[in-house]
Amino acid sequence: METKTPFIEIIDEIKKAGGDTYRMCFQCGTCDAVCPWNNVRNFSIRRLIREAAFGLTEIESDDVWLCTTCGKCHEHCPRAVDQIKLGISLRRLASSYDIFAASASAVKAARGSLVAEGNPLDEDRAKRAEWTEGLSVNPYTEDTEILFFGCCYLSYDPRMRSVAAATAKILNKAGISYGILGTSESCCGESIRKTGAEDVYKGLAKENIKTFVDNGVKKIVVSSPHCYESFKNEYSEFMVNFEVVHMSQLLLDLIKEGRIEITREYAKTVTYHDPCYLGRHNEIFDEPREILGRIPGLELNEMAASRKNSLCCGGGGGRVWMETEKGERFSDLRLEQARDTGAAVLVTACPYCISMFEDSRVTLELESDIEIKDITEVLQEVIEV
């Protein structure tokens, strides 16, 4: 058997990148037991941690790029090891040498697009606000109460633009003072940071923070849990503190205040998917369910894996841009779990989840079996807008 020589530079680089959390690991294997990858293939985050401890990490390995940062391992770890931080440090190291596994090659294109156009989708920055045409959405000014930050997917992705439109119609109906920054916005940077591109993330964050401060932004409402995570929990590293609210939280408040009145039935069986960065990472579980519970005619059937045990869609950690082989997609498993509840509609509150589920709905030929909806799209159907 070949004996590997420790690569001391790897240990030093992991420490510098914040991944020395491996010191806490005592190799119990709990992380491997709960990792969603082991539903579809053999993968051991425990092994990556052990190799990192001895400087034996193979940064050319596809395994370095598999983690979706879903947080299940950290949630269950008896030693509170931050496996996500370790994984990001390995990706930083690999990308610093321009080493990308074949499945992760698209990350390079996403980084280039973020630097050039402020979004990962290779779309023109000048077109970022085109989704607002015909929707009475105003530019943000200092007199505006709320900045609606729709994210790159709601701004550019054809499927997600319907979510942006539904959101605008609901906010207009409720009489909310809100606006957008349009072409001045850049990607929040959360996902590209998880691929190890710390410099790209910092550039995006500083650009957004300057734009927010220059425009007098105090309260930000977001549709994407990834934007929520970034603005609320990560931008504080830059010594700023904005009030950040997820759309599901705002909508529930508006319903309770009577500013949104539900006037129609939704006579369908529904199941709700907890996005990792909304639920497990930020513990927003109840608000979306309470909204659904207030809609007459709607029957909510929970999946077995829900709330903190929700199955990741597979799009986090930058994997929304990476290639995942057929038979290894978490979103395929999740659709099967949704169908098992008897639901006709799978509702969620994350653009990544919707994108992943829509892809699986096509590849599994389930278009006629189950719908995929953002919670704002459901709410739009039951109010007069």
Q: Which pLDDT score is estimated for 18?
A: 56
Q: What type of residue is 279? A: G
Q: Which pLDDT score is estimated for 5?
A: 43
Residues of the chain below pLDDT 70: 1-11, 13-22
Burial of 254 (0-12, 13-18, 19+ CB in 10 A): buried
Query: 295-308 burial by CB neighbour count: b if 16+ within 10 A, else e?
Result: beebbeeebebbee
Q: Which pLDDT score is estimated for 228?
A: 98
Q: Please give the C-alpha separations between residue 75 and each of 83, 160, 285, 308, 315, in angstroms, as whole numbers.
A: 10, 30, 15, 8, 19
Q: Which pLDDT score is estimated for 8?
A: 52
CA proximity to 382, closest of 266, 240, 300, 221: 266
**Cα distance between residue 307 and residue 274, in whole Å:** 6
Q: Which pLDDT score is estimated for 157?
A: 97
DSSP 315-376: -TTTGGGS---TT--HHHHHHHHHHHTT-SEEEES-HHHHHHHHHHHHHTT-TTT-EEEEHH
**Helices marked H in the chain:** 8-16, 30-34, 45-53, 72-76, 83-96, 106-117, 151-156, 158-174, 190-194, 198-214, 225-229, 247-256, 286-293, 330-340, 351-363, 375-381
Q: Which pLDDT score is estimated for 213?
A: 97
- What's the CA angle centered on 203, arms 8 and 228, to 5 degrees? 100
CA proximity to 67, closest of 325, 324, 319, 354: 319
Contact 189, 151 (CB under 8 A): no
Domains belonging to the chain, first-starting first, are 8-103 (no CATH), 106-253 (no CATH), 262-381 (3.40.50.10700)
**Cα distance between residue 67 and residue 84, in whole Å:** 8
Q: Which pLDDT score is estimated for 97?
A: 87
- Whether the pTM exceeds 0.85: the reply is yes
Residue 383 phi/psi, 5° resolution? Answer: -125, 160
Of how many residues is the chain composed? 385
**Helices marked H in 175-224:** 190-194, 198-214
Residue 272 phi/psi, 5° resolution? Answer: -115, 135
